[in-house]
Amino acid sequence: MTYHSLREFIDRLELDNELIRIKERVSPVLEIAEITDRVSKQPGGGKALLFENVEGSSMPVLINAFGSTKRMNAALGVHDIEKIARDIDKYLKIAPPATLVDKVKLLPMLLEAAAFPPKMVGQNQAPCQEVVLTRDEVDLDKIPVLQCWPDDAGRFITFPIIVNRSADRKLRNVGLYRMQVYDKKTTGMHWHIHKDGAHFFHDYRKQNKVMDCAVAIGADPTVCYSASAPLPYGIDEFLLAGFIRKSPVPLVKCKTVDLEVPATAEIILEGFIDPSEMRLEGPFGDHTGYYSQDGDYPVFHITAITHRRNPVYLTTIVGKPPQEDLYLGRATERIFLPLMRTQLPEIIDIDMPAEGVFHNLVIVSIDKRFPMQARRLMNALWGMGQMSFVKIIIVVDQNINVHDSHTIISLLLNKIDLQRDLFFSEGILDVLNHASDRALYGSKLGIDATEKIEGEEGFDSEPDTITTDPLPAPEPILEKYTELKSCKFIEREGRHRIAFATLDKTCPHQGRRVIDKIMNDQQFSAIDVLIILEGHEEVNNISTVLWKLLNNIDPKRDTYYFNNRLAIDVTRKTGEQGYMQEWPEEIEMSEEIKKKVDEKWKKLF
């Protein structure tokens, strides 16, 4: 089943017992985010939430709508997201027809494909323009925009579908970029430097031309997903939505700007961006689990707000994983696998673990046929679209299940030669990466966990004997190195023995000094890999440790070798260590809001 509007999807969620209507009065400032954060971290992602009594607005708020595997499948009209990947693969593999019979066989497919492009509809068929507000009627304060986290710079529209065209009007871009609300008629436009929206903006800036812009909030689920998808430059996201839903996305002409928007959306913001005007935007609690840094971004001036009668405000929160965006990201992981294979046919499967927040870790299995193929693949991925932002890539053989974390950990503990199989590179990084010395670029790590074949180093050599000697207890290391707060050893047999330790860091370079002392101490020579984290970390929560490790290291700078042993410094870096960015704070809700939500929790559900 596919949905022509968000409202149809809400009906389906209610029918499937996937929606909770919350009638208790709640505030859009922090309270909704705290409630949603707790629900989204329940097993399986919790339920979608519809807040019907929101302070300061008559609009209900829908959130966590896509926050589970079941709801994500339903949103895209399939029982299994893999069906969409198979459909894409089918079109990619169409052979040129050689005979009349071949041409006839293609007709059903071609007729289906004819329904993919968007279609224009009249204003009488556009519910998004049932109410039209212009000039002094424009008032963003009437929309229940959330403040998600205590140190956010204000309220942010977090699920806006932003539509614009290139300066020559030939290309359309549809993307998701957060928008900080400045006042009733203006917002920020957070275009990351590497994204298509920013590319278009810079063209307008060069020509000193004002840029039309429109924002749809609460479109049908396929449009909401497609706006988040990492499509190649120049490919229309509305076309992808039409492909997924197998029917065209109806678009309507805006009232005050020369753009087209989804006709069945709940709310439309129309306006313009003057490329000569920039304004400080942020900070914002982002999907990395940290506050992203503030910076100067374009300003969006709203000329009209149109909406349905009694609109629903669709929004989301991001923060420490897992959140709703995990399931949107997993859909992308599966849907775009066939497209990746068109350029790299050796790829079997791919996994982006939640702890890697999309751009910090990717695990890839390949059909390996020649020496150094894994390293070739890493370099290829680091040059491919949004995969170029990935910090760490692990490559495994085709028989390895990349989605089985226990198998991957066992492989890393037993098969890796710490010097031979780790490959450091450099390149661009996501603007949200805070670990590199400078913004936007830094080092990357590739780990070749494939079996060595003839022609590769290690093919003829015997593997190291698995260590069976017991690791020392944590107490001796804590007694000897008093600046450590806690210590944990991975209790698994394997070629490599791993220790996590937390450090009360009081001065620059302290992490490195502690690493040198421990790794050169014969008493602890059984430790093959030592990972040093900040003193407040909980070393018994391996998922959190992995999330911190992936977020907080620049691989080349923070990895230290001791022959065939290594240590990793995951602690906060400072300017004295050559670090030129501002190390962000972790996202944490205020105790006051936690207490308020505790008090009303039973009334909510």
Active-site residues, by number, are 286
Please name which of 438, 385, 384, 413 lies closest in space to residue 394, comparing C-alpha atoms. 413
Q: How far is CA 179 from the centre of its chain?
A: 17
- Classify strands 211-217 and 161-165 as parallel, antiparallel or unpaired: antiparallel
Cα 551–Cα 555–Cα 558 angle in degrees, nearest 5: 95
Neighbours of 193 (CB within 10 A): 12
Provide the angle, in degrees to the nearest 10, between the axes of the packed helices 325-335 and 221-228.
80
Round to whole Å and give the CA distance between 532 and 504: 10
Residue type, 436: S
202 touches 245 (CB < 8 A): no
Please list, in sequence order, all residues whose beta carbon lies within 8 angstroms of the beta carbon of residue 117, skipping any fewer than 6 positions away.
Answer: 236, 238, 239, 242, 248
Where b means 16+ CB within 10 Å and e means fewer, 164-186 reads: bbbbeeebbbbbbbbbbbbeebb
Structure tokens given for 355: 């702890």
Which regions of 166-207 does DSSP assign to beta strands (E)? 172-176, 179-180, 186-188
Three-state SS at 102: helix
> Where does residue 231 fall: left (phi above 0), alpha (psi -120 to 50 degrees), or beta otherwise?
beta
Neighbours of 234 (CB within 10 A): 11
Question: What dihedral angle (degrees, nearest 10) is formed by the CA atoms of 542, 544, 546, 548?
Answer: -150
Beta bridge partners of 217: 267
Structure tokens given for 10: 């809400």
Please list, in sequence order, all residues whose beta carbon lies within 8 angstroms of the beta carbon of residue 473, skipping any fewer than 6 positions away.
Answer: none
Which regions of 30-142 does DSSP assign to beta strands (E)? 48-51, 61-63, 119-120, 131-134
DSSP symbol at 312: -
Provide the angle, in degrees to the nearest 10, between the axes of the packed helices 237-245 and 221-228.
140
Please list, in sequence order, all residues whose beta carbon lies within 8 angstroms of the beta carbon of residue 33, skipping any fewer than 6 positions away.
Answer: 146, 147, 148, 149, 317, 319, 589
Backbone angles phi, psi at 558, to 5 degrees: -100, 5
